[in-house]
């Protein structure tokens, strides 16, 4: 058994947390499936790549080097990963379900003639086969899929799988990727706002909907996010469509899928398309003045009240608790 190959995505000089989660989940699964976890990254490896990937559960870390790998290229990266997979013959290839991962995974699947399961939120092993769970119909149902081919390519939803650090650091092996033609390369990435925490990565997301009444009241949400210290501010589509907030903050079916430890929905009704993007959050708090609002059906804690009264009190309480701890 060759085990699981995990693509380790590097962003801003560091391996992404979502990739470390994928490595840890792969390590958990190989205990039942057999084999070990190999992490592969393309281009220059961050200095601590062997340490963080080894601790997350990888037994080996391969950095694929090539003069062309200075910027991401879907077809080029897929071709390089395919070469490693052809040698290793893994049971599965895991990729974090980030924008880059969503672009890369299907291209890897085509080259490796594998089945692909996207945005997975759970895995089990039955009869020596890997089964993947993924939400469908905007999160209303969960599908369990098994690859018809011997290899499964899966993308893993960030923040859903636990990252462990029980492993030991490993050395990074650099391999030449060989001749790979790149038909498309990303020339430049323009970050909307520098140092802004992304809703898909933040452990806490404070989201606002039409109940916030206008963009001039977003300071209330930002104050709560600042009080937490590790929170990002999100928005419903109604708010984005109205031009109150940028699209990169939109949570939902046509926005981003988030799975933070804590999601606070403020003045959001809870339409199915919004739930599709946040219902896998670990703890959901909803603040809405309408006790019948659908958001309360998925909320762990519901506050029936006016956001303009509740938010300042909540912010003050979070500040007080954090200062005391």
Give me the residues that bind ligand FAD (CB under 6 A), please: 209-211, 236-239, 250-255, 267-269, 271, 273-274, 277, 287-290, 293, 306-308
CA dist., res. 42 & res. 5, Å (int): 13
Least Å distance, CB 197 to ligand FAD, is 19
Least Å distance, CB 140 to ligand FAD, is 14
Q: Which own/partner contact pairs does 217-221 have at CB distance under 8 Å and 24+ positions apart? A: 217/308, 218/244, 218/245, 220/266, 220/307, 220/308, 220/311, 220/312, 220/315, 221/266, 221/311
Least Å distance, CB 252 to ligand FAD, is 2
Phi-psi region of 52 (alpha: psi -120 to 50; beta: other; left: phi over 0): alpha
Our CB check for ligand FAD shows the closer of 90 and 302 to be 302
Least Å distance, CB 319 to ligand FAD, is 21
Handedness of CA 93, 97, 101, 105 (dihedral sign): positive
Our CB check for ligand FAD shows the closer of 134 and 237 to be 237
Our CB check for ligand FAD shows the closer of 197 and 304 to be 304
Give the distance, in angstroms, between the CA of residue 269 and the centroid of all CA atoms in the same chain.
Answer: 24
Least Å distance, CB 89 to ligand FAD, is 39
Our CB check for ligand FAD shows the closer of 112 and 159 to be 159
Alpha helices by DSSP H, the chain: 17-33, 49-56, 74-88, 99-112, 218-228, 237-241, 272-278, 295-298, 307-324
234: which 2 tokens? 């999100």
Q: CB-based contacts of 314: which residues, under 8 Å, 6+ apart?
A: 224, 287
Alpha helices by DSSP H, 173-254: 218-228, 237-241
Our CB check for ligand FAD shows the closer of 90 and 211 to be 211
Our CB check for ligand FAD shows the closer of 164 and 308 to be 308
CA dist., res. 248 & res. 198, Å (int): 8
Least Å distance, CB 232 to ligand FAD, is 15
Our CB check for ligand FAD shows the closer of 35 and 158 to be 158
Tokens 């037994």 belong to 59
Our CB check for ligand FAD shows the closer of 176 and 306 to be 306
Least Å distance, CB 236 to ligand FAD, is 3
Least Å distance, CB 227 to ligand FAD, is 19
Handedness of CA 130, 95, 39, 205 (dihedral sign): negative
Handedness of CA 226, 231, 232, 238 (dihedral sign): negative
Least Å distance, CB 300 to ligand FAD, is 18
The residue whose Cβ lies closest to ligand FAD is: 252
Instruction: Provide the 3-class DSSP secondary structure of residue 128.
Output: coil
CA dist., res. 7 & res. 63, Å (int): 10
Our CB check for ligand FAD shows the closer of 55 and 274 to be 274
């Amino acid at each position: 058994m060759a085990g699981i190959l995990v693509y380790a995505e590097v962003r801003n000089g560091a391996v992404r947390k979502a990739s470390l989660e994928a490595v840890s989940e792969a390590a958990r699964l190989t205990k039942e499936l057999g084999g070990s976890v190999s992490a592969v990254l393309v281009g220059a490896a961050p200095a601590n790549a062997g340490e963080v990937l080894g601790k997350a559960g990888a037994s080996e870390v391969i950095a694929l080097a090539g003069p062309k790998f200075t910027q991401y290229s879907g077809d080029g990266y897929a071709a390089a990963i395919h070469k490693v997979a052809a040698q290793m013959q893994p049971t599965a290839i895991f990729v974090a379900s980030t924008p880059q991962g969503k672009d890369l995974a299907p291209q890897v699947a085509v080259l490796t003639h594998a089945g692909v399961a996207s945005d997975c939120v759970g895995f089990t092993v039955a009869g020596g086969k890997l089964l993947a769970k993924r939400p469908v119909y905007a999160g209303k149902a969960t599908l369990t899929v098994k690859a018809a081919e011997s290899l499964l390519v899966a993308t893993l939803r960030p923040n859903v799988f636990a990252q462990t650090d029980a492993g030991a650091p490993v050395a990074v092996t650099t391999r030449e990727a060989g001749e790979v033609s790149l038909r498309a390369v990303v020339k430049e990435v323009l970050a909307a706002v520098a140092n802004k925490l992304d809703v898909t990565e933040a452990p806490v997301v404070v989201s606002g909907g039409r109940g916030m009444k206008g963009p001039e009241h977003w300071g209330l949400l930002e104050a709560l996010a600042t009080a937490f210290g590790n929170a990002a501010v999100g928005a419903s589509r109604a708010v984005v469509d109205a031009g109150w907030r940028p699209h990169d903050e939109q949570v939902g079916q046509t926005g981003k899928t988030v799975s933070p430890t804590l999601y606070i929905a403020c003045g959001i009704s809870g339409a199915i398309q919004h739930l599709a993007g946040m219902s896998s959050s670990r703890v959901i708090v909803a603040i809405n003045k309408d006790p019948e609002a659908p958001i309360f059906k998925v909320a762990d804690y519901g506050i029936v009240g006016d956001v303009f009264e509740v938010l300042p009190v909540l912010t003050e309480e979070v500040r007080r608790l954090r200062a005391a701890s």
